[in-house]
Amino acid sequence: MNYFSSNFKLGILGGGQLGKMLLNDTRKFDIYTCVLDPSNEAPCKIASNEFHLGDLMDYDAVYNFGKQVNVLTIEIENVNVDALETLEKEGVKVYPSSKTLRIIQNKATQKLFYVDNNLPTAPFSRFAYTSEIKEAINHGGLSLPFVWKCAQFGYDGTGVKIVKSIEDLEGLPNVECITETLVPFKNELAVIVARNPSGDIKTFPVVEMEFHPDANQVEYVICPARVSDAVAKKAVEVALNTSKAYNHVGLLAVEMFQTQNDDILINEVAPRPHNSGHQTIEASYTSQFEQHLRAILNLPLGRTNSKVGGVMVNLVGAEGCSGNVVYENIEAIMKLDGVTPHIYGKKQTRPFRKMGHVTIVNEDLNEARRIAEEVKKTIKVISE
C-alpha cells in the first residue's frame, strides 16, 4: 500500500490535542487525513486535510465517516463501537479494533478482562448503580476506604473519587461503577507498547507519573522512571502481557501501580497515544505519535530509546479561571534551558482543563525535574 503523497486516506475519530499531535507526523509523511469531531473549534481542524463535524457516539456519523477512509484510528475511546464493528465487516481496517475498544470503554469489563487473563490488578467490586454501594458497606461486603470509578465516560480525573467515609458518596452520579481496593503504592508507572499487524512489538521506556493531590491529574511524567532495573523489567513484562491479551494493534498505554513490596498492578489502559508519552516528542528517537502511525499502517516500528532524560508538565486551567485563555509568563519559561511548550489550541480555559504541556529535556534527570518544578510555578493558564 502506498500511503505517502497518494490517495490513501487515514481517518481519525476525535479532533483533540492527541489528534493534533498525530497530524504533525501525518504532515511529515504527507499522509492524507480526515478527522471527525463534534466541535467546530477542535484543535485538529486546522491541520487535517478534511474536517468533518459529527457526534462520535452516533452510529450513522461514525459509519458514514468510516466508509470514506482506508484505515480508521481513534484519539479518544468514547466512540460508537457498533459502527466500527460494521466497518470492519465491510473491509475497513480499524485500529484499535472494535473488540478491544468494547472491553476498554467499560472499566468493569476491563477489570474482568484482567482477571480472566491472569493479569495483575487491584481487587474490585462492580455495581449497577452507585446507590448500591451504601448497602454493601452496611452489610460488611465492602470496607472503607476505596476508590470509586464510574464504569463509562470518565476521563482526566472526572469519574474517579477516593471514598474514605459514607459522606464521600454524596453527590456522585448514580451510574454503573466499580470500587477498587485502595492500593498503598510507591509509584504510578506507565509503559507504552507499540504493535503492528505483522506482530512486531516495541516498548517505550518505563515512565513515572506524579499526580496532583486534588485534581487526580498527572502533574509530571518522568522518563526514565526512577525505579530499579528489576521493577522496570517487571513493569515492561506486565505491559507486554497486557498488549498480547488484547491482541492490540497501534499503541497501548498501560498505567500501573508499584506496590510497597514492588509488585506491579495494572490500573487501566488506553489504546492510543497517551499523556504518559508526550515527552517522547523531544526526548526519544521516535515519538509516540509517529510510532502510532507506523504501527497502524503496518510499517516498520521506530527506535524507542530516549536520547535524553525528559520530564513533561501538564498545563491545565488555573482554578477560578474560565473564558478566553491567556498563557501568563510563557516567555519566562522559554528562557529556561531545554524547555519546549506545546499549546493545544483550545481557545477557552476552565479549571483543570488540559490546555497544553511543556517538555523539559536534560542529560541530568534530576535537573530536568528541578526545571519542571520551576516551569510549573512560573507559567499560569488564566483567562482574560
**Domain regions of the chain by residue span:** 9-94, 123-181, 185-383
Residue given cell 529535556 in the structure block: 361
What average pLDDT does the structure give for the chain? 95
Q: What contacts 163, CB < 8 A, 6 or more positions away?
A: 144, 145, 146, 147, 148, 169, 179
Check residue 365 and give its pLDDT: 96
Q: Is residue 251 a known part of a binding site?
A: no
Q: What is the mean pLDDT of residues 361-370?
A: 96
Q: Is residue 307 a known part of a binding site?
A: no
Residues of the chain above pLDDT 70, percent: 99
Residues of the chain above pLDDT 90, percent: 92
* Residue 248 CA: distances (Å) to CA of 143, 197, 208: 35, 9, 23
pLDDT band of residue 213 (cuts 50, 70, 90) is confident
Phi and psi at 109, nearest 5°, equal -65, -40
pTM above 0.85, yes or no: yes
Phi and psi at 164, nearest 5°, equal -105, -20
Range with lowest mean pLDDT among 83-92, 124-133, 152-161, 369-378 = 152-161
Q: Is residue 107 a known part of a binding site?
A: yes
State the Cα angle at 156 between 123 and 15, rounded to 5°: 130
Question: Is residue 157 pLDDT above 70, yes or no?
Answer: no
At 78-112, the pLDDT tens digits run 999 999 999 999 999 999 999 999 999 999 999 99
Q: Is residue 77 a known part of a binding site?
A: no
Higher pLDDT, 213 or 260: 260
| CATH architecture assignment, domain 123-181 | 2-Layer Sandwich (3.30)
Question: Is residue 140 pLDDT above 90, yes or no?
Answer: no
Q: Is residue 347 a known part of a binding site?
A: no
Q: What is the mean pLDDT of residues 131-154?
A: 91
Instruction: Report the distance separating Cα 78 and Cα 57, nearest Å.
Output: 7
What crossing angle do the helices spanning 107-116 and 229-246 adopt, rounded to 10°? 100
Class of domain 9-94: alpha beta
Q: Which CATH superfamily is domain 185-383 in?
A: ATP-grasp fold, B domain (3.30.470.20)
* Residue 341: CB atoms within 10 Å: 16
Check residue 350 and give its pLDDT: 96
At 10-54, the pLDDT tens digits run 999 999 999 999 999 999 999 999 999 999 999 999 999 999 999
Q: Is residue 93 a known part of a binding site?
A: no
Check residue 215 and give its pLDDT: 67
At 327-364, the pLDDT tens digits run 999 999 999 999 999 999 999 999 999 999 999 999 99
Q: What is the mean pLDDT of residues 305-317?
A: 96
Range with lowest mean pLDDT among 55-69, 166-180, 211-225, 238-252 = 211-225
Question: Is residue 231 pLDDT above 90, yes or no?
Answer: yes
Check residue 218 and give its pLDDT: 83
Q: What is the mean pLDDT of residues 268-288?
A: 97
What does the CA dihedral 126, 131, 135, 136 come to, rounded to 10 degrees? 20
Domains 9-94 and 123-181 share a fold: no
Check residue 156 and give its pLDDT: 63
Q: Is residue 49 a known part of a binding site?
A: no
Q: Is residue 88 a known part of a binding site?
A: no
Q: Is residue 268 a known part of a binding site?
A: yes
The cell numbers describing 174, all together, are 448514580
Name beta bridge partners: 343.
356
Q: Are strands 380-383 and 348-349 parallel, antiparallel or unpaired?
A: unpaired
Check residue 37 and give its pLDDT: 98
Q: What is the mean pLDDT of residues 229-233?
A: 98
At 185-195, the pLDDT tens digits run 999 999 999 99
b/e burial code for range 236-259 (CB count within 10 A of at least 16 → b): bebbbbbbeebebbbbbbbbbbbb
Check residue 158 and give its pLDDT: 73
